[in-house]
Structure 1
Protein backbone atom coordinates (compact mmCIF):
# COMPACT_ATOMS: atom_id res chain seq x y z
CA UNK A 1 0.00 0.00 0.00
CA UNK A 2 1.52 3.34 -0.99
CA UNK A 3 2.27 5.92 1.64
CA UNK A 4 -0.26 8.72 2.07
CA UNK A 5 0.59 11.85 0.13
CA UNK A 6 0.32 15.44 1.25
CA UNK A 7 -1.06 18.12 -1.03
CA UNK A 8 -0.45 21.85 -0.73
CA UNK A 9 -4.09 22.75 -1.29
CA UNK A 10 -7.50 21.12 -1.51
CA UNK A 11 -7.51 21.96 -5.22
CA UNK A 12 -4.21 20.09 -5.72
CA UNK A 13 -5.71 17.06 -3.97
CA UNK A 14 -8.85 17.24 -6.11
CA UNK A 15 -6.82 17.45 -9.34
CA UNK A 16 -4.68 14.47 -8.34
CA UNK A 17 -7.75 12.45 -7.36
CA UNK A 18 -9.54 13.30 -10.60
CA UNK A 19 -6.50 12.28 -12.68
CA UNK A 20 -6.24 8.99 -10.83
CA UNK A 21 -9.96 8.32 -11.30
CA UNK A 22 -9.65 9.04 -15.03
CA UNK A 23 -6.67 6.67 -15.39
CA UNK A 24 -8.50 3.94 -13.48
CA UNK A 25 -11.66 4.50 -15.51
CA UNK A 26 -9.79 4.03 -18.78
CA UNK A 27 -7.60 1.15 -17.61
CA UNK A 28 -10.44 -0.82 -16.01
CA UNK A 29 -13.13 0.31 -18.45
CA UNK A 30 -15.39 1.64 -15.69
CA UNK A 31 -17.76 4.57 -16.15
CA UNK A 32 -16.04 7.63 -14.66
CA UNK A 33 -19.16 8.89 -12.88
CA UNK A 34 -19.84 5.46 -11.39
CA UNK A 35 -16.25 5.36 -10.15
CA UNK A 36 -16.62 8.82 -8.60
CA UNK A 37 -19.80 7.72 -6.79
CA UNK A 38 -18.15 4.56 -5.54
CA UNK A 39 -15.09 6.38 -4.19
CA UNK A 40 -17.28 9.00 -2.51
CA UNK A 41 -19.48 6.40 -0.86
CA UNK A 42 -16.49 4.25 0.13
CA UNK A 43 -14.93 7.24 1.89
CA UNK A 44 -18.22 7.93 3.70
CA UNK A 45 -18.37 4.31 4.84
CA UNK A 46 -14.74 4.45 5.96
CA UNK A 47 -15.60 7.39 8.20
CA UNK A 48 -18.77 5.81 9.56
CA UNK A 49 -17.09 2.48 10.30
CA UNK A 50 -13.69 3.67 11.53
CA UNK A 51 -14.47 2.83 15.17
CA UNK A 52 -14.24 -0.76 16.37
CA UNK A 53 -17.83 -0.78 17.61
CA UNK A 54 -20.27 1.16 15.51
CA UNK A 55 -24.01 1.74 15.73
CA UNK A 56 -24.38 1.49 11.94
CA UNK A 57 -25.75 -1.29 9.76
CA UNK A 58 -25.14 -1.30 6.02
CA UNK A 59 -28.34 -2.14 4.16
CA UNK A 60 -29.36 -2.29 0.56
CA UNK A 61 -27.67 -3.39 -2.63
CA UNK A 62 -24.41 -1.53 -2.10
CA UNK A 63 -23.15 -4.15 0.34
CA UNK A 64 -22.72 -6.45 -2.65
CA UNK A 65 -19.26 -5.10 -3.38
CA UNK A 66 -18.19 -3.85 0.02
CA UNK A 67 -15.32 -5.35 1.93
CA UNK A 68 -15.45 -4.94 5.69
CA UNK A 69 -12.08 -4.92 7.45
CA UNK A 70 -10.57 -6.68 4.46
CA UNK A 71 -13.27 -9.35 4.52
CA UNK A 72 -15.46 -9.65 1.45
CA UNK A 73 -19.02 -10.49 2.36
CA UNK A 74 -19.34 -12.59 -0.76
CA UNK A 75 -17.61 -15.59 -2.19
CA UNK A 76 -20.02 -18.16 -0.84
CA UNK A 77 -20.73 -16.45 2.47
CA UNK A 78 -24.01 -14.90 3.43
CA UNK A 79 -23.92 -11.22 4.45
CA UNK A 80 -25.28 -12.11 7.91
CA UNK A 81 -22.65 -14.77 8.40
CA UNK A 82 -19.84 -12.47 7.26
CA UNK A 83 -21.05 -9.69 9.57
CA UNK A 84 -21.16 -12.15 12.46
CA UNK A 85 -17.61 -13.36 11.72
CA UNK A 86 -16.35 -9.77 11.54
CA UNK A 87 -17.99 -8.93 14.89
CA UNK A 88 -16.43 -12.03 16.46
CA UNK A 89 -13.06 -11.25 14.92
CA UNK A 90 -12.84 -14.69 13.32
CA UNK A 91 -12.36 -13.43 9.77
CA UNK A 92 -14.04 -14.81 6.68
Structure 2
Protein backbone atom coordinates (compact mmCIF):
# COMPACT_ATOMS: atom_id res chain seq x y z
CA UNK A 1 0.00 0.00 0.00
CA UNK A 2 2.95 2.35 0.68
CA UNK A 3 4.02 2.08 -2.97
CA UNK A 4 0.51 2.97 -4.19
CA UNK A 5 0.37 6.01 -1.90
CA UNK A 6 3.92 7.01 -2.85
CA UNK A 7 3.26 6.73 -6.59
CA UNK A 8 0.07 8.76 -6.28
CA UNK A 9 2.03 11.49 -4.51
CA UNK A 10 4.85 11.26 -7.06
CA UNK A 11 2.40 11.96 -9.89
CA UNK A 12 1.03 15.12 -8.22
CA UNK A 13 2.82 18.42 -8.72
CA UNK A 14 1.24 20.19 -5.75
CA UNK A 15 0.56 18.94 -2.29
CA UNK A 16 -3.05 18.34 -1.41
CA UNK A 17 -5.25 18.10 1.66
CA UNK A 18 -4.91 14.77 3.44
CA UNK A 19 -8.64 13.96 3.12
CA UNK A 20 -8.68 14.80 -0.59
CA UNK A 21 -5.55 12.72 -1.11
CA UNK A 22 -7.00 9.63 0.62
CA UNK A 23 -10.16 9.96 -1.49
CA UNK A 24 -8.00 10.20 -4.63
CA UNK A 25 -6.10 7.01 -3.75
CA UNK A 26 -9.38 5.22 -3.01
CA UNK A 27 -10.79 6.15 -6.44
CA UNK A 28 -9.10 3.20 -8.12
CA UNK A 29 -9.89 0.75 -5.32
CA UNK A 30 -12.98 -0.49 -3.56
CA UNK A 31 -14.03 2.22 -1.13
CA UNK A 32 -14.31 0.09 1.98
CA UNK A 33 -12.93 0.56 5.47
CA UNK A 34 -10.03 -1.84 4.90
CA UNK A 35 -8.74 0.22 1.99
CA UNK A 36 -9.27 3.50 3.87
CA UNK A 37 -7.39 2.22 6.93
CA UNK A 38 -4.63 0.80 4.74
CA UNK A 39 -4.16 4.14 3.02
CA UNK A 40 -4.07 5.96 6.37
CA UNK A 41 -1.47 3.50 7.67
CA UNK A 42 0.62 3.99 4.52
CA UNK A 43 0.45 7.78 4.93
CA UNK A 44 1.63 7.41 8.54
CA UNK A 45 4.54 5.23 7.39
CA UNK A 46 5.56 7.83 4.82
CA UNK A 47 5.55 10.41 7.62
CA UNK A 48 7.71 8.15 9.79
CA UNK A 49 10.13 7.53 6.89
CA UNK A 50 10.49 11.29 6.49
CA UNK A 51 8.97 11.32 2.99
CA UNK A 52 6.17 13.72 3.84
CA UNK A 53 4.93 16.01 6.58
CA UNK A 54 1.45 17.33 7.18
CA UNK A 55 1.18 21.10 7.47
CA UNK A 56 -1.23 21.50 10.37
CA UNK A 57 -1.00 25.29 10.21
CA UNK A 58 -3.23 25.11 7.15
CA UNK A 59 -6.99 24.60 7.45
CA UNK A 60 -6.77 21.69 5.00
CA UNK A 61 -3.81 19.84 6.62
CA UNK A 62 -1.78 19.88 3.41
CA UNK A 63 0.82 17.24 2.52
CA UNK A 64 4.38 18.43 1.95
CA UNK A 65 7.05 16.33 0.27
CA UNK A 66 10.37 16.14 2.12
CA UNK A 67 13.94 15.22 1.17
CA UNK A 68 13.55 11.46 1.62
CA UNK A 69 10.59 11.54 -0.77
CA UNK A 70 12.77 12.86 -3.58
CA UNK A 71 15.56 10.40 -2.75
CA UNK A 72 13.05 7.51 -2.90
CA UNK A 73 11.67 8.83 -6.18
CA UNK A 74 15.19 8.88 -7.62
CA UNK A 75 15.84 5.32 -6.37
CA UNK A 76 12.56 3.99 -7.76
CA UNK A 77 10.16 3.85 -4.83
CA UNK A 78 9.66 3.06 -1.18
CA UNK A 79 11.03 -0.49 -1.38
CA UNK A 80 14.24 0.63 -3.07
CA UNK A 81 14.69 3.43 -0.55
CA UNK A 82 14.25 0.96 2.35
CA UNK A 83 16.85 -1.39 0.80
CA UNK A 84 19.25 1.53 0.31
CA UNK A 85 18.76 2.67 3.89
CA UNK A 86 19.21 -0.86 5.25
CA UNK A 87 22.43 -1.39 3.29
CA UNK A 88 23.85 1.86 4.66
CA UNK A 89 22.90 0.91 8.22
CA UNK A 90 24.57 -2.49 7.85
CA UNK A 91 27.73 -0.87 6.47
CA UNK A 92 28.04 1.45 9.47
Scaled by the length of structure 2, the TM-score of the pair is 0.37
Higher relative contact order (Cα pairs below 8 Å, separated by 6+ residues): 2
Please identify which structure carries the higher strand content. 2
TM-score, normalised to structure 1, is 0.37
